[in-house]
Structure 1
């Protein structure tokens, strides 16, 4: 999916100027690539947030002053560590005829047999890394869990994808599994016991120090 986004040229790069942009509903950013000169830009905050919510890994046709329309992808999003507001975004210009590596969301579909039998669904990966041509990049990958039974799992290697897609995530990684109810409870109890033991040890250590 290719989306459109318009950028403005950004001349000021000081902290106060970037803060001023954000006060006016714009997010500072930069676009760069092997075939273009890096340029500081500003993006409308509403458009950027909508893109991040719905299509964070999409190919974007960005209209950039002095550079014209460029095919880009989001490379990095910086956020305030406390508020989590977006403070800066990097766009990487891509060549539509050359492969790119991107993160693709996993959509787990189906009412699994294991869950119906009382098992606990445990998702280990919500996304995987894929390499392919930009036009072949999927918006998401559907993982059917309807036949997944208690004690079973689905590995990366079991995904059935187009031969146009190269999976970069370790093929032995577990994507999703169904835990038996008793095992799930034991894991919770083990975590609780471990935490209690650590707290007691810390208290004993403090008592020794106070003597």
Structure 2
């Protein structure tokens, strides 16, 4: 995955009112920190550029330029959003070492048509993102999962995935990535059949009446 240049502006730490004004100007406040950055540096980032990045490549390696250290590779570490509008309110960037392995998440995509779908089954992607460990330069844009051999009731787990060279799965091995389910109507019919109880009375209700009479007779004899 090639590095993406992210334009940032260094800024002074400011008050809440000044941060609101910054956001009204189409800027997102943030900070960057890391081993090569002696002090946490306050930044502002263009909101539109950041939104496009988060939509297309949220886990990309970003190149930013700082006055004190020059160009540095960073990754998004944390995003704070407004609870209602989901607007990005603040972002944390973490400077990384290109020669050290990191753990991050990548998008999961399916390829092919599951065999079970041709029989009426429903393909369900259970894991939309996979945690991987690798060098920053080896981070794949996505992990492809070939589902063409999946029959109804079968699944693919993390341990079954074929990952690019140098990339290891950090998610639990037995997590289900994709599965093919029975159509909902069939599941409901199966559940109904399993839940049925055997009839204890005749169609005319005679068996239940006999039992009621026996019970009543027993009560009278005891009295």
- Normalising by the smaller structure, the TM-score range is 0.7 to 0.9
Q: Deviation of residue 184 (structure 1)?
A: 7.0
Q: Deviation of residue 65 (structure 1)?
A: 3.3
2:77 is the counterpart of 1:68:
no
CA displacement 1:110-162 (0-9 Å, x = unmatched): 11111121111222100110111011111111111122111100000000113
Partner of 1:198: none
Look at both structures and tell me which one has the larger radius of gyration over its CA atoms.
2
Q: Secondary structure at the match of 1:96?
A: coil
- Tell me the TM-score normalized by structure 2: 0.80
- Tell me the TM-score normalized by structure 1: 0.85
Distance in 2 between residues matched to 1:143 and 1:132, nearest whole Å: 19
Native 8 Å contact 1:78 1:88 kept in 2 = yes
Distance in 1 between residues matched to 2:46 and 2:170, nearest whole Å: 33
2:20 is the counterpart of 1:28:
no
Q: Secondary structure at the match of 1:61?
A: strand
Q: Deviation of residue 185 (structure 1)?
A: 4.3
Partner of 2:137: 135
Partner of 1:12: 13
Runs of 4+ in 1 over 4 A off after TM superposition: 182-185
**More deviation in 33-42 or 59-68?**
59-68
Distance in 1 between residues matched to 2:185 and 2:28, nearest whole Å: 47
Partner of 2:173: 171
Structure 2 unaligned spans of 5+: 193-223
CA displacement 1:22-47 (0-9 Å, x = unmatched): 10010000000122121010001111
